Amino acid sequence: MNYNWNWRIFWEPSPNGTGNYLDMLLSGLVLTIEAAICAWIVALICGSLVGVLRTLPSRGANRFGFWYVELFRNMPLLVQLFLWFFVLPELLPRSWGLWLKQLPNAPFYTAVLGIGLFMSARVAVQLGAGINSLPRGQKMAGTALGLTTAQTYRYILLPMAFRIILPPLTSEFLNTIKNTSVAITIGLIELTAQARAMQEFSFQVFEAFTAATMLYLIVNIVVVTAMRYVERTVAIPGYMTGK
């Protein structure tokens, strides 16, 4: 392969004047992590609400939950980001749209909102399945103890369901981290974008992408290890996941 390898490229100064190429990649990594964590918070909050709606006895709530999930699941994430970024400001009243467009860091907020809502549909499905997988007796016991529906969810169903669905939630969180790279299309300079920029400046394609790959792998390992620890700590005694 007639390709000029140059692994020392990372310590050469980058043309954007913010240190060397490694600093560039690391600043992208920080942005990736920040965006992923913020998006995950959005996903958890909205996803939990919708997930609960999908299990309530009310027909209206179920229907809302169904359409919410279908809407966010059946459009590519990229298209959803475009809707939030390009379309939403035009559909709002003029002054709001203008404010949105002038917002500093608009790609970051759009990515957080867009990816968060996209992932919330998946969280909702997981949580709904988790609640439905609980024995019926748990809900009845709550009612028998004189708890309201809200209290039953708050004290019995949700703590159980969240602990059961922790492993799938971990992989959804990993997906959230990976999905931040889609925000490259609306100008978020996260890890993949920095690797791409480094490739354009230095022509060292494979070094740049190898470094980004390594960083993504490290993040994965850290998250998986941390979540395994959390899973063990909150395991429900007597359940398979408790092993």
C-alpha–C-alpha distance, residues 100 and 85, integer Å: 9
Name the helix (H) or strand (E) containing 91.
helix 88-91
Secondary structure (DSSP) of 2-59 = -----GGGGGSBPTTSSSBHHHHHHHHHHHHHHHHHHHHHHHHHHHHHHHHHTTSS-H
Nearer to other proteins, 18 or 220 (CB): 220
CB 154 within 8 A of CB 131: no
What does the block give as tokens for 150? 């809200």
**Coil, strand or helix at 102:** helix
161 part of the interface to other proteins, by CB under 8 A = no
217 part of the interface to other proteins, by CB under 8 A = yes
Which of 13, 15, 19, 76 is in the footprint of other proteins by CB under 8 A?
Answer: 76
| Choices 4-12, 134-142, 160-168, 206-214; region in contact with other proteins by CB under 8 A | 206-214
66 part of the interface to other proteins, by CB under 8 A = no
State the minimum distance, in angstroms, from the CB of residue 209 to other proteins: 5
Which of 18, 45, 63, 73 is in the footprint of other proteins by CB under 8 A?
Answer: 73
Which of 21, 40, 162, 216 is in the footprint of other proteins by CB under 8 A?
Answer: 216
What does the block give as tokens for 140? 């009845």
174 part of the interface to other proteins, by CB under 8 A = yes
Nearest of 191, 170, 182 to residue 23 by alpha carbon? 191
| Interaction mask 179-198, other proteins, x per CB under 8 A | xxxx-xx------x--xx--
C-alpha–C-alpha distance, residues 13 and 11, integer Å: 6
| Choices 66-74, 144-152, 156-164, 233-241; region in contact with other proteins by CB under 8 A | 66-74
State the minimum distance, in angstroms, from the CB of residue 219 to other proteins: 8
C-alpha–C-alpha distance, residues 107 and 14, integer Å: 23
| Interaction mask 81-110, other proteins, x per CB under 8 A | -xx--xx--xx-------------------
Using CB under 8 A as the binding criterion, the count of chain residues that bind other proteins stands at 40
Nearer to other proteins, 54 or 196 (CB): 196
Secondary structure (DSSP) of 193-239 = HHHHHHHHHH--HHHHHHHHHHHHHHHHHHHHHHHHHHHHHHPPTTS
Binding site for other proteins (CB under 8 A): 1-3, 70-71, 73-80, 82-83, 86-87, 90-91, 174, 177-182, 184-185, 192, 195-196, 199, 205-206, 209, 212-213, 216-217, 220
